[in-house]
Structure 1
Amino acid sequence: MDIVETTDIAIIGAGPAGAAAAAWLARDGWSVQVLERQHFPRFSIGESLLPQCMVYLEQCGLLESAQAGEFQAKNGAAFCHRTRYAAIDFRDKFSPGPGTTWQVERADFDQRLIEGARRAGAQVHFGVSVTGFHPHPQRPRLQLEDEQGRRHELDARFVLDASGYGRVLARLEKLDRPSSLAPRTALFTHVEDHIEAAEHDREKILIGIHPQDATTWYWLIPFRSGQASVGVVTAPDRADAAGDSDDQRLWNLLRQEPRFSRLLNHAQPRREVQRIGGYSADIERLHGPGFAILGNAGEFLDPVFSSGVTIALDSALRAAPLVKQQLEGQAIDWDTSFERPLRQGIATFRAFVDAWYDERLQRIIFHDRQPERIRQMIASVLAGYAWDQDNPFVSASKRRLDSLAEHCYLDQGN
């Protein structure tokens, strides 16, 4: 097997993490090759961004590329459960930074980002799979195969894995470890929503809670031009019991939530219902000799707070400067400079995900007498500012959530 070429940085995956890292490093003058198994544009979920993403897109030089998509504006999140409704406005938050973002069809969004990285100087190869990896502190090597079955090898000075759910290096290096989160199933599709209800706010993701099962929840993500992403997340057995096909299961479950049933009464599907399960994942470590692992290729929590793209971009913009420094001869402690701080933010999101499924956070969100300062701190985390250590709900997430949930419980006379 001949080595056909070399590069400074090889990046596995052309999604948001791969595009951001590629753009940053290519703009800095490094040779970058992005290796993507699929062809773009391609469908993906994770369509409701968080405002923190806007900071990262600007840092890597891809904000203008994304702005050209003229995506649906997003300024917050709304929640409904039976007759209750609560909205959180990300513009009214504790942490500095943008308070608005977009809701995007990922096929278009991801295509714009990777083309922006290509314009910055990165080479992008679609239809190429990574079949093997040899880690090395100075010269890691990837084994590649194209769609015609041709195999070759690529030497790099550093490898970044941004392969998302493909989890290429986690698999090849046997770094996977079981997630502590319960297994769940997501059913989802795109629709022409035909929503005419005056109370429906298209600038917010709507998250609904099943009337009888608070661990089953729904999303409605409006796009521009009257389209939307709709889905449900539930236990695998509840999903299976809801119908004879995934299409039937999704729509039967959607009809069980009153507001979603009313809003989507005239919706027309644009694509087949899709299903993913067992998506939560964890990893032993996020770096090794000559490589680092970004975004969902490392740890993925849950889609409930749309944290996936935020974590992906944070990891890319955290790793790229360290790669530059290492290739310039500096000694980098990847554990201290990359893995620990990245996992701190992930831990904040995890605390909120845990609090959602055990209903502490639901109790907080629907409490109607929330102090303004507390509401702003919660809004900041849900807007993606999960690394702001000045926010007590970041620096002491679990303790603060426990205390606030108990206060809300007692305040409601329980």
Structure 2
Amino acid sequence: MMKSSYDCVVIGAGPGGCSAAAIVAQSGLSTLLIEREPFPRFHVGESLMPETYWPLQRLGLIDRMKEAGFQVKKSVQFVSHHGNESAPFFFRQHDMRECSDTWQVERSEFDKMLFDRAEELGADCHDQTRLLDVRFDDMQKIVGVRIRDRDGNERDIDCSVVIDATGQQSFIANKLKLKEVNPDLRKVAIWSYYRDAVRDEGDNGGATIILNTESKESWFWFIPLSRGITSIGCVGDTDYMIKGRAKPEQVFYEELERCPGLKPRLENATRLGDIRVAKEFSYMTTQHAGDGWVLVGDALGFIDPVYSSGVYFALEMGVRAGDAVVEGFKKNDLSAAQLGGWTESFLEGVQWLRKLVAAFYTKEFSIGRFMKEYPEHRGRVTDLLIGRIFDESAEQLFKDMDTSIEKAKMESAM
């Protein structure tokens, strides 16, 4: 039975919301977690970075992940617009610990596991429950939310803290006009699922593969899932992918014809289900927390799908936000500074992945060429693909990467 008042209300039961709710509820604070969709529910974003190990360990889920039957992911590989394959970036060649292996997950199963774990740790969890509004007092401090429950009843819920994990809907940021879209990363993703796509043998069989098309105007992801199914998606600029072109299904196949690295892998594969489409606009929020509220996951910001950082970032933000809420109640301090105090250091680390995304979308950049020119950076690039963005500076890596890109630009202009 849903109560009329909670210490904390978490909106959105993706990885960020579930991890935040679990941490807060485990501390003994009354916690409501709501999700508008029924569980289990479909979601894209199946590839995990290895650093997801640590928030999953914090939630007590490592053993369940091992038992769930998800495809193990041990590497990332890149394929050029000519179809040339880079040497795979094997995580365990850089770090032999168990945490260097990760998973490719069916999000319906993975998110349900997180939702159930939040409930086990004490959160009051309700799906098919929609947020209608967030309520502020005259001082712009959170006092509660208004929701519509699964039976269609509208009701006010009082609370001291709201954790907004509403994904790209980013409810509070949109309400307060805090979102800034990156005009250089306005992308569209068109994807579907295939049975019997060709995978590599051995440890690279579960690799996420990033494949450029001939013009480098788009790229494909290749994410092997369990049960012989592979997620195949195409990403490109909105103007290129949509304006003046045919239906998304035809665009998908046109781009596939332009992807020499992917075509052979799908020759004998069978597509399953419909073609799906999503706009993937990169954005950041100008304010990440306020008195009684904090943003996590895509509600705080979205970079790009290319390096599969979304789930890890959401889980990590959820844990950090949950810890900040728990500490705030102990200190009787639910200010913006307390609830969002973790965001600055988090975003300092995220900047390195943003730089790697920017390099990827520079047409002259080639990861294979860069590794030949600067083999000493292979370990640091692997660190970034693992998700280790908070440990040390990557300044020299990106100085050398800029040099490589400028050299390539000069050569192409000759």
TM-score, with structure 1 as normaliser: 0.89
TM-fit CA distance, 1:372: 5.0
Q: Confirm or deny that 1:195 pairs with 2:198.
A: yes
CA drift at 1:370: 5.3
What is the aligned partner in structure 1 of residue 38 from structure 2? 39
**Quick check: 1:153 aligned with 2:152?**
no
The letter of the residue matching 1:182 is L
1:219 partner amino acid? W
Report the Cα distance in structure 1 between the residues aligned to 2:3 and 2:320, rounded to whole angstroms: 30
> Structure 1 residues 178 and 242 mapped into 2: Cα distance closer, same or farther (>3 Å)?
closer
Q: Which of 205, 223, 240 is the matching residue for 1:238?
A: 240
- Indicate yes or no: 2:216 matched with 1:217: no
Among 336, 350, 354, which residue is 1:350 paired with?
354
Aligned with 2:186: secondary structure? coil
Q: Deviations over 1:103-161 (max 9, x none)?
A: 11111111111112111221111111111112468753101113543210111121111
CA offset digits 1:178-225 (Å, max 9, x no partner): 22433111100112134276599322111100112x241100101122
Judge conservation of contact 1:27–1:120 (CA < 8 Å) in 2.
Answer: yes
Equivalent position of 1:276 in the other structure: 278
Report SS of the residue matched to 1:184. strand
Q: Which residue is 1:11 aligned to?
A: 10
Task: Give the letter for the 1:74 counterpart.
Answer: K
Equivalent position amino acid for 2:146 in 1: Q
Instruction: Say if 1:69 and 1:408 are closer, same or farther in 2 by CA, change over 3 A.
Output: farther
Q: State the Cα RMSD in Å.
A: 2.8
Q: Deviations over 1:246-293 (max 9, x none)?
A: 222212211221121110112212221111125322211110110100
Equivalent pairs, count: 406
Distance 1:372 1:397, change over 3 A: closer
Give 2:147's match in structure 1, choosing from 144, 149, 164. 144
Shift of 1:373: 3.9
| TM-aligned CA deviation for residue 175 of structure 1 | 1.8
Alignment partner of 1:178 is 2:181: yes
Mapped to 1, the partners of 2:270 and 2:44 lie a distance apart of 19
For the residue of structure 2 that corresponds to 1:385, the secondary structure is coil
Paired residue type of 2:144:
R
**Could you tell me how far 1:93 is from its partner in structure 2?**
3.3
Distance verdict in 2 for CA 1:400–1:169, change over 3 Å: farther
* Structure 1 partner of 2:132: 131
Query: Partner amino acid for 2:401?
Result: L
**Does the 8 Å CA contact 2:371/2:377 hold for their aligned counterparts?**
no
Structure-1 residue corresponding to 2:249: 247
User: What amino acid maps onto 2:47 in structure 1?
Assistant: S
Partner AA of 1:93 in structure 2 = H
Deviation at 1:94, TM superposition (A): 7.3
Cα drift, residue 46 of structure 1: 1.0
Report 1:279-290 matches (<5 A).
279-290=281-292
Residue in structure 2 matched with residue 76 of structure 1 by the alignment: 75
Larger CA deviation: 25-34 vs 58-67: 58-67
> Conserved in 2, the CA contact under 8 Å of 1:92 and 1:376?
no
**Cα distance in structure 2, aligned partners of 1:61 and 1:338:** 22
- Could you tell me which of 339, 344, 349 is aligned with 2:343? 339
- Secondary structure of 1:143's counterpart equals strand
For the Cα contact (< 8 Å) 2:218–2:255, is it kept in 1?
A: no
Contact 1:187 1:246 in 2 (8 A): yes
2:322 pairs, out of 320, 342, 348, with 320
Q: Could you tell me the TM-score, scaled by structure 2's length?
A: 0.89
Q: Any idea what SS the aligned residue of 2:7 has?
A: strand
Q: Within 1, Cα distance between the matches of 2:383 and 2:119?
A: 33
1:267 maps to a residue whose letter is: A
- Cα distance in 1 for partners of 2:391, 2:408 equals 24
TM alignment of 1:108-119, pairs within 5 A: 108-119=109-120
Contact kept? 1:157, 1:327, Cα under 8 Å: no
User: How far, CA to CA, are the matches of 1:397 and 1:140 in structure 2?
Assistant: 46
Could you tell me how far apart the structure 1 residues matched to 2:407 and 2:276 are?
40
For the 8 Å contact 2:16–2:297, the answer to whether it is kept is: yes
Contact 2:371 2:378 in 1 (8 A): no
**Change over 3 Å in CA distance of 1:143–1:197 after alignment to 2:** closer
Which structure 2 segments of 5+ residues have no match? none
Indicate whether 1:107 and 2:108 are aligned: yes
| Paired AA for residue 350 in structure 1 | R
Cα distance between partner residues in 1 of 2:267 and 2:107: 25
Q: Is the 8 A contact 2:131 2:146 kept in 1?
A: yes
Question: Does structure 1 retain, via aligned residues, the 8 Å contact 2:134–2:142?
Answer: no
